[in-house]
Amino acid sequence: MTNFFSKFRLGEEKEAFSSVAGSIESGIVFRGTNLWILIFAIFVASLGLNVNSTAVIIGAMLISPLMGPIMGIGFSVGINDSQLLRRAGMNYGVATVVALLTSTCYFLLSPLDEAHSELLARTAPTIYDVLIALFGGLAGIVALSSKQKGNVLPGVAIATALMPPLCTAGYGLATLQFSFFFGAFYLYIINTVFIALATFIVIRIFHFPYKKFTTQKAERLSRQIIWSVVLLTLLPSIYFGYDLILQNRFSKQASGFIAQEAQIEGDYLLNKKVNAKEKSILLVYGGNEISKDQIAAIRSRLPLYGLTGASLEIRQGFSSFTASSDNLDDKTTALTDVLRSKQQELDSVNSVLAQQLGYDSMGRRLFSEITIHYPGLRTCAVLPLRENADSGKVQQSLMVLLSFNRTISSADKIRLRNWLVVRTADTTVQLIIKP
C-alpha cells in the first residue's frame, strides 16, 4: 500500500525554482511578438464564433498567450513577490483591454451578427466552469513545475478557454447586448481567478522560496484579499450552477410528461416548446377540437412528473398563429416540417408497398408458367435479397423460392434457374427449392 501511495509523490520530479520562475516570467510580458500573437488569436477566435466553427475556436485557444500573465499572478502571490505581481497584473490588464478592443472592432465590422451556439455557450457561466478552470490550472502548473512537463499547457488552454469569453464580451459590446458582455466577461474572470488560485496552491505545496511579509498584519491582509476575491468570484457561479441544474431537471421532467401524457386521440402534436427558465410548456395540436375538460385533465397530471407550479398552454392548430408575425413564421415553419416529414414517411411506405405488390404479382405469373412444365409445383414466392459483404458493400439479388410435391433432379434445378434468369431478365436470380 505504501508503494502505491508513493506513486503520487511529486517531490522527486519537482523542477528547480529558477527554471519554473524563468518559464513563468518569460510568458508574462505583453509587447511586440506576444501582443501581435494575441491580436491575431482574437481575430481567429472571433471568426470561429462568427461562423460557429469549433475547430477554429480551438485553434485560437492554442495560439493565445493569455495563460502567461494569469499564471504569473498566481505564482507571484504564491512566492509573495510584489514586483512580479505588479508586472503580471499590468500585462494582464493590457492583454485584456487589447483583446476586448480587437474583438469589439471585429464584430462592429463583421456583416454576420447572429449569435450561434458557440457564442451563446459563453454567456452563462456556472460552478462547472469554476471546476474546469481550477483543475485545468492545477494540471498546468503541476506540469510546469515538473521535470517531466509533457504537452499539457495546450490542453489546459483548450479546457479553460480564455479566448472565446473575451471575444463574446466584445460581441456584446459591439451589438450593445450587455447581458452577453457581463456573462462572458464573468466567465473570463472565473477562468483568470481559478487558474491563478491553482497556481498559488501548487507553488505553496511545492514550498518554493517565499518572501516573508514585513508584519503579520500585512500577511493577514494579503490572505484576506486573496480569499475575498476567490469567494466573490465563486458565489455567483454557484447560484448559476444550481439554476442550471434546476433547468435541466425541469426540461427532463417536461420531456417525460410530453412523451407520456401529450397524446390526444384524434389530434396530432404539431409543435412543442419547453421553457425551463420560465417553467412553461407549450403544446400545439392539429386535428379535432380539444375540450376544456381534456386540457384540465392533462394539466392535472403535471404534478405526477414533478412539474408542480409549471404552466401548460395548449393551442389548437392554426388558432395559435395569432400572436405575432415572428410567431406565425415559427409555427408555419414547424407545421411545414411536420407535413414534409409525414409525406416522406408516406412516400417511403407507398414505395415499399408498391415494390412488394410487384413481387407478389411476379410470383403469381411464375407459378402459372412453371406449373405447365412442372405440375407438381405447390408454392412460388419471389423476394428481394440484400446481403452484406465483407467489403462493406451490399449485394442485391432476386430470390425465387419454390416447393414441389415430388423430388426435383439437379438437372431440372439448373434448367429452372436458367429459365428464371431469362424470364425475369435478372442474372442475380437465386433459386431455392424447399423440401
Q: Determine contact, residues 71/141, Cβ cutoff 8 Å.
A: yes
The pLDDT assigned to 237 comes to 80
Number of domains in the chain: 3
Q: How far apart are CA 313 and CA 281, in angstroms?
A: 6
279 lies in a domain?
yes
384 lies in a domain?
yes
The pLDDT assigned to 338 comes to 65
Comparison of pLDDT for 300 and 356, the residue scoring more? 300
As a whole number, mean pLDDT of residues 285-303 equals 84
- With a cut of 60, say whether residue 12 has pLDDT above it: yes
| Cα 204-210-212 angle, rounded to 5 deg | 125
> Does residue 141 sit in the same domain as residue 72?
yes
> Does residue 364 sit in the same domain as residue 424?
yes
> Does residue 92 sit in the same domain as residue 23?
yes
Q: Which of 290, 312, 343 is the last residue of a domain?
A: 343
Q: Determine contact, residues 431/397, Cβ cutoff 8 Å.
A: no
- With a cut of 60, say whether residue 270 has pLDDT above it: yes
The pLDDT assigned to 269 comes to 82
32 lies in a domain?
yes
* Mean of pLDDT over the chain: 81
429 lies in a domain?
yes
Range(s) of the domain holding residue 404: 359-434
Of 267, 22, 17, give the one whose Cα is nearest residue 146. 17
The pLDDT assigned to 322 comes to 46
> Does residue 99 sit in the same domain as residue 170?
yes
As a whole number, mean pLDDT of residues 137-160 equals 76
Q: How far apart are CA 237 and CA 287, in angstroms?
A: 46
> Does residue 265 sit in the same domain as residue 410?
no
- Write the pLDDT tens digit of every residue in 351-367: 656 566 677 888 888 88
Q: Determine contact, residues 281/229, Cβ cutoff 8 Å.
A: no
| Cα 118-185-46 angle, rounded to 5 deg | 40
Q: Determine contact, residues 20/208, Cβ cutoff 8 Å.
A: yes
The pLDDT assigned to 8 comes to 66
> Does residue 399 sit in the same domain as residue 339?
no
DSSP sequence for 218-282? HHHHHHHHHHHHHHHHHHHHHHHHHHHHHHHHHHHHHHHHHHHH---TTEEEEEEEEETTTTEEE
- With a cut of 70, say whether residue 392 has pLDDT above it: no
pLDDT band at 330 (very low <50, low <70, confident <90, very high): low
As a whole number, mean pLDDT of residues 16-32 equals 81
Q: Determine contact, residues 160/195, Cβ cutoff 8 Å.
A: yes
> Does residue 277 sit in the same domain as residue 206?
no
The pLDDT assigned to 320 comes to 46
Q: Which of 155, 190, 211 is the last residue of a domain?
A: 211
404 lies in a domain?
yes
- Write the pLDDT tens digit of every residue in 314-329: 887 554 444 444 555 6
236 lies in a domain?
no
> Does residue 182 sit in the same domain as residue 46?
yes
Give the list of residues 6+ apart from residue 224 with CB closer than 8 angstroms, or none. Answer: none
230 lies in a domain?
no
Q: Which of 181, 211, 241 is the last residue of a domain?
A: 211
As a whole number, mean pLDDT of residues 375-393 equals 76
29 lies in a domain?
yes
Q: Which residue has the cell 392539429?
A: 286
> Does residue 125 sit in the same domain as residue 93?
yes
> Does residue 67 sit in the same domain as residue 196?
yes
Sign of CA dihedral 101, 102, 105, 106: negative
Q: Which residue has the cell 376544456?
A: 292
CA atoms within 13 A on the CB side of 35: 12
Lowest-confidence region among 66-80, 134-148, 202-216, 319-333: 319-333
Q: How far apart are CA 241 and CA 238, in angstroms?
A: 5
- Write the pLDDT tens digit of every residue in 51-108: 888 888 888 888 878 888 888 888 888 888 888 888 888 988 999 999 999 999 999 9
> Does residue 388 sit in the same domain as residue 327?
no
> Does residue 149 sit in the same domain as residue 39?
yes
User: Looking at residue 422, which CATH number applies to its domain?
Assistant: 3.30.300.30
CA atoms within 13 A on the CB side of 182: 6
Checking DSSP bridges between strand 430-434 and strand 377-388, what pairing results, if any? unpaired
User: Looking at residue 95, which CATH number applies to its domain?
Assistant: 1.20.1080
Lowest-confidence region among 20-29, 202-211, 267-276, 320-329: 320-329
Q: How far apart are CA 84 and CA 97, in angstroms?
A: 20
